[in-house]
Amino acid sequence: QQQVKQSPQSLIVQKGGISIINCAYENTAFDYFPWYQQFPGKGPALLIAIRPDVSEKKEGRFTISFNKSAKQFSLHIMDSQPGDSATYFCAASMRGGATNKLIFGTGTLLAVQP
Amino acid sequence: SAVISQKPSRDICQRGTSLTIQCQVDSQVTMMFWYRQQPGQSLTLIATANQGSEATYESGFVIDKFPISRPNLTFSTLTVSNMSPEDSSIYLCSAATGEAFFGQGTRLTVV
């Protein structure tokens, strides 16, 4: 119940295309869902986060879609660029958000081809 | 946001020795966390470190192996004790101020 399942494991997208990464969870007590971007040799960097009271959140080219009934959420990267090539992790936590521990998905390695 | 500095950034250690990793945050934070990340893998939480109390360890991690200090609201250390090659990994410090931020990690190789 503590798991967060992430797919796909890897993704290749052409420059200008849309990258879509999906996550699913079981524990309905989760109430905070962030996405992190990690470049090789660096720590994860917070991209965007959502709480279950909204179905979508957009920041620039990054959008989170949230489906509470299906217990799924996804990251959409519009107009994908080679600089977006990185590993993306979804995560979830409960009882107050990231001040509580985060459970991470397995990660998606994104390659954006020029 | 919070800026988190970790030291050392990498180290190569002999088996049986111990390494202490330092984590400094540029602002006071209530919650700090230590994660382990195998290369190409996801992050696994080792423990939660709150100032003024004992660290809370996740299943599979014990205080004797991974002692943690949290002397104030901006600093924490993680020690990897009696190291074996299986401890080779990236260790990440995180601080939460409503949202969670990460240091750049410490890449540990045990030989």
- List chain B domain ranges: 4-110
State whether B98 and A41 contact (CB < 8 Å): no
All structural domains of chain A, each given as residue ranges with its CATH number in brackets, are 4-113 (2.60.40.10)
* Architecture of the domain made up of B4-110: Sandwich (2.60)
pLDDT averaged over every residue in chain B: 94
Q: Which amino acid is at A56?
A: E
State whether A43 and B104 contact (CB < 8 Å): yes
CA atoms of A73 and A67, how far apart (whole Å): 6
State pLDDT tens for residues A25-79: 999 989 999 999 999 999 999 999 999 899 999 999 999 999 999 999 999 999 9
> Which of residues 51 through 70 in chain B touch A, CB cutoff 8 A?
58
State whether A107 and B48 contact (CB < 8 Å): no
H/E segment holding residue A15: none
Q: Measure CB to CB from residue A101 to each of B48, B98, B103 and give the nearest one.
A: B48
Q: Chain A to chain B, count of Cβ pairs less than 8 Å apart?
A: 58
